[in-house]
A and B are shown apart, each in its own frame.
Chain A
């Protein structure tokens, strides 16, 4: 069955195709290339220097979705990387060792600048130390984002980030780009980012409707594509979210649920999910939920590239401060109690029936502590929690039958709870 595509999906696909074309042509056009990460990305700054961003973890997930990650991971393990470490890293390094052919089958250019934005994930730092050896000619800029350990942003942390931007990151950009930063372009990008962020939050909050017009996880990963990667701050990005928001509003008016690869379905369970999805078996994984009538109304993974739920928006007023606040706020840079609070907010706001935790073997930043989070949520909300284990892009850690067994039990719990709640309502 062919997948039903909406205008926003078509638009995003074109944006990506154009971007990868620009990347493949970079050696000819002379545009500089900056490798960086999604959490704490400084896309506005990259755009202000007219550089092209590459996100290694996006390449890895694309490789996973295209069933290429197994070979890349094997290549990296042959080169000495342990089976125990992050599969994104191994997939990226394996891809590079096999010629750096990107998701559109075009060769990715090597980086002119490695921008290590160390935000919410320790492995990022090690990843870039490894990339530095693989790309010895690239300039390296390090941006250390302190952790929100005490559940708040310390003013000293903001000052620290601003100083790093001023004394380390921007000078490196200027050196690579061969020119000074264009403040007007940066301000324009920041304003456009805020517009896109408003629209994205509208889309996410539409999940409060019954039925939810979106799947905030499996659909959500597409919705965050433009804003978390190469396009935040661009006019195309704003237009994408305008189109998406229009489509979502139409679905709300018609009381339609989200579109899946198999079309629409009747909403039965409303779920919140913690953790990234599995990419190697993405459709199968999604189907395990929608075949039960389950829709995700909230997801934490779609906040790794920025948490906009509490009002943060990029601002042109003090751009460096705004970029610092953005970086500090990314989901995995928040402490466990904050992460639990956000999950609880989703559950309350969207009247969710249950929580699913997809624990990722590769990702300690997400996974370490999830069992404690699970217990805390169960105590706070008294809702069923399903705990499953997969991986990002290592297909060896996707066991369909194990996941299905666990989810079948979880859905039975949900069903029983619905019956109990229904009886209680009748009695009262």
Chain B
């Protein structure tokens, strides 16, 4: 008997756009991670690895026959009962719903958890998981903040090799050159497809809503890469035939939402209030590496290391000594012909909120309009956001 989600993997070529969006929505709302559980149950050696934002080298997991699943909290979809007993009121919301899911057995089929080094809360959440899940692999993944290949590169290679060895011990697999090259190729294809999708969205924001675009990307945090590639390819085939009239809205880049995710309602509200979101960092991890990583090499781990050191996108979690992020943000605005920036960060998010004064000043120097607000993943009232975004749009339309 086919599993609940197997069907969605088999009939991609027949999907309509509505069905494609429904698939993404279903995956987004499924907090029991049925897709991953079904995938795991199909073969004995398969393992599920949950990871926190922003980025992990999913190629390594894929090459070890593991499904990387992004853990982005639960939004407003579950009541936080026990999660609040783990975190004080002044700590962001995402770890509460993650720990809630851990405690209500939503993550019981997961075999390992990865915690990338992006902030102190995610770092310490790894410690809570160490205390909670003594029988599962819990790994904090340190990324080098030194970008010299002989220094940070050597360290990062060791981290990746250690990670691969620890993960491999879960299903008795070891990382092979061929398998990793193959996985790198698949993820290259994935990033290229997502870039095409983002470009389409930026060019025709009236044909693909920001919320639907977001859900398509979110699907990539749980689908197999092979499935997601076929899925996005199909959507790209269908999108040009969408008929819609472009509205008189301004174009904005949204910045600061790379970890705890804004509620879908917030994304819709911004857009309905008159702002086409032409680029954002909601699912930054999926486009972390800019360009292709060599996939026909004798040293694919080295290729991943080099890509991290030299081809990573800009992020609040990365030291930007030689590569100031405000310049990257200005470039992003320019490339997407945006009229302004919305700084939209979760409350209590140190990386995003401590970057904001730097970025705001840089935007002002370049005469780029901006506004900012904060959210929780379970925010349910968007009236204030609507007012702010609407006023911002009106201001730009009237006076620029």
Contact = CB atoms under 8 A, between A and B. Distances in A.
A11 B321 CA distance: 40
Contact of B353 (A84, A129, A156, A168): A84
Contacts of A420: none
B150 to A, nearest CB: 7
Given A123-B120, A337-B127, A160 B350 contact: no
Question: Most chain-A CB neighbours within 10 Å: which of B87, B120, B139, B348?
Answer: B120
Contacts of A359: 88
Given A84-B374, A368-B124, A372-B128, A125 B319 contact: yes
B154 A159 contact: yes
Contacts of B13: none
A283 to B, nearest CB: 25
Given A84-B374, A367-B91, A372-B131, A146 B353 contact: no
Main secondary structure of the interface of B (DSSP, over half): helix
Contacts of A147: 117, 123, 140, 142
A133 B88 CA distance: 32
Contact of B120 (A127, A133, A160, A364): A364
A368 B125 contact: yes
Nearest to A391: B90
A82 B120 contact: no
Nearest to B345: A82
Q: Which residue among A79, A122, A367 has the maximum number of chain B CB atoms within 10 Å of its CB?
A: A122
A368 B154 contact: no
A160 B347 CA distance: 34
A172 B215 CA distance: 46
Contacts of B361: 80, 133
B189 interface: no
Contacts of B115: 149
B311 interface: no
A172 B316 CA distance: 24
Interface string B107-150: 00000000101111101111110111000000110101110101
Contact of A123 (B124, B154, B350, B374): B350
A65 interface: no
B128 A364 contact: no
Contacts of B212: none
Contacts of B123: 122, 147, 149, 365, 368
A163 interface: yes
B358 interface: yes
Interface in B181-237: none
B242 interface: no
Contacts of A140: 321
B140 A122 contact: no
B142 A149 contact: yes
A359 B89 CA distance: 11
Given A118-B145, A142-B321, A364-B350, A168 B151 contact: yes
Contacts of A157: 155
A357 B343 CA distance: 34
A156 B158 CA distance: 7
B63 to A, nearest CB: 22
A123 B117 CA distance: 12
B330 interface: no
A16 B221 CA distance: 54
A129 B87 contact: no
Given A156-B158, A368-B91, A126 B351 contact: yes
Nearest to B360: A80
A376 interface: yes
Interface string A362-383: 0011011111100010000000
Contacts, number: 161
B2 interface: no
B127 to A, nearest CB: 3
A81 B357 contact: yes
Given A127-B354, A149-B139, A164 B151 contact: yes
B288 to A, nearest CB: 18
Interface in B349-400: 349-351, 353-358, 360-361, 374
Contacts of A132: 321
B312 to A, nearest CB: 15
Interface in B82-96: 85-88, 90-91, 95
B294 interface: no
B96 to A, nearest CB: 11
B124 A364 contact: yes
A159 B139 CA distance: 21
Interface in A127-145: 127, 129-130, 132-133, 140, 142, 144
A316 interface: no
B87 A84 contact: no
Interface in B146-181: 146, 148, 150-152, 154-155, 158-159, 162
A361 B347 CA distance: 13
B119 A364 contact: yes
A364 B140 contact: no
B353 A82 contact: yes
Contacts of B145: 118, 125, 142, 144
A42 B382 CA distance: 48
B136 to A, nearest CB: 14
A89 B350 CA distance: 11
B320 interface: yes
Nearest to B353: A82
A372 B86 contact: yes
B358 A371 contact: no
Interface string A316-338: 00000000000000000001110
Interface in A62-116: 79-82, 84-86, 89, 116
A64 to B, nearest CB: 18
Contacts of B140: 147, 149-150, 335
Interface in A162-195: 163-164, 167-168
Interface of A: 79-82, 84-86, 89, 116, 118, 121-123, 125-127, 129-130, 132-133, 140, 142, 144, 146-147, 149-150, 154, 156-157, 159-160, 163-164, 167-168, 335-337, 339, 359, 361, 364-365, 367-372, 376, 389
Interface of B: 85-88, 90-91, 95, 115, 117-121, 123-128, 130-132, 139-140, 142, 144-146, 148, 150-152, 154-155, 158-159, 162, 316, 319-321, 347-351, 353-358, 360-361, 374
19 contacts: A82-B356, A85-B350, A85-B353, A86-B354, A123-B120, A123-B350, A132-B321, A142-B319, A142-B321, A144-B319, A149-B126, A154-B162, A156-B155, A160-B144, A160-B154, A164-B146, A337-B127, A369-B125, A371-B88
* List of 9 A-B pairs having minimum Cβ-Cβ separation, nearest first: A336-B127, A149-B140, A126-B354, A80-B357, A160-B155, A144-B145, A369-B124, A368-B124, A156-B158
